[in-house]
Structure 1
Amino acid sequence: MATAPAPTRGGPLHRLSAPTDYSGAARVSVQVTAAAVVGADRAVLGVEWTGDVARAVRDDQVISDHSWHGRAWDIDVTDGRDLTLEVLPWSDATGVWVDPRVRPVPEGASIRALSIQRIGRVSLTAPQASG
């Protein structure tokens, strides 16, 4: 089960800081198949999730991060390489404000859906004027 780190504050206004400790994060390995990206100009992994914050990691490098606010998280996977999602759970105790239209959600972390959107490129040209 994922566990959230204790909230931290910083800066001159003593605001909540983004977590840096992901040791208690829920982890999900995502395999990106060649068939999902071959022939696409770009491929984007859409992640429908709930939690506090999350990051996508590949080869010990963070390639994307996201704070949950109710909308899907898009991650460029055009290179076709696998990645790991690390999700810290939501907890009301953090004191983070999120628009009430997307709350309440249960405490914890969840990934509800993963999808890959293939994006193509179309070039348009204007006809030459005769004359």
Structure 2
Amino acid sequence: MTADTRRWRVGTHYGIHAYAENPGKFDDEPIFTAHERDTAEQIVFEHNAIHLHHHDADDQPADIQVGKLLYEVARLKVQIRRLEARNEDLEQRGLSQAGHLLKANGDLHNLRMRLMDLAGAESSAMHRADDAAGCDEADCV
């Protein structure tokens, strides 16, 4: 199978379709559809940076090296975008989890306060009952 020597481009509508340019013809030829814009851009960039330079004349090796470096830069940019999106997602999840934790801690605090109030009320009621009976704790043992 021979390499496609035509220049590829990413479609402008969704940015996920790639086409091979057909100079002098009405339509460019569809090549592939990717799931994400970054993936389509990366594949097209790689094709154009590497495959098109095989037909340049004098400084072919330098062009190929530049093409490979440019492809690597594009690939790293795609990875950075993906990591930034993942980081944002994890940050949102973390904030959500922190909110749940704060609410649970607040609920626990409120329950402890109610328990202390109930324990205090029970203790007061016992003291009032003892006082009403006319004895203190030492006499009632």
TM-score (norm 2): 0.19
Structure of higher RCO (CA pairs closer than 8 Å, 6+ residues apart): 1
Which protein shows a greater Rg?
2
| Bigger helix fraction | 2
TM-score (norm 1): 0.20
| Bigger strand fraction | 1
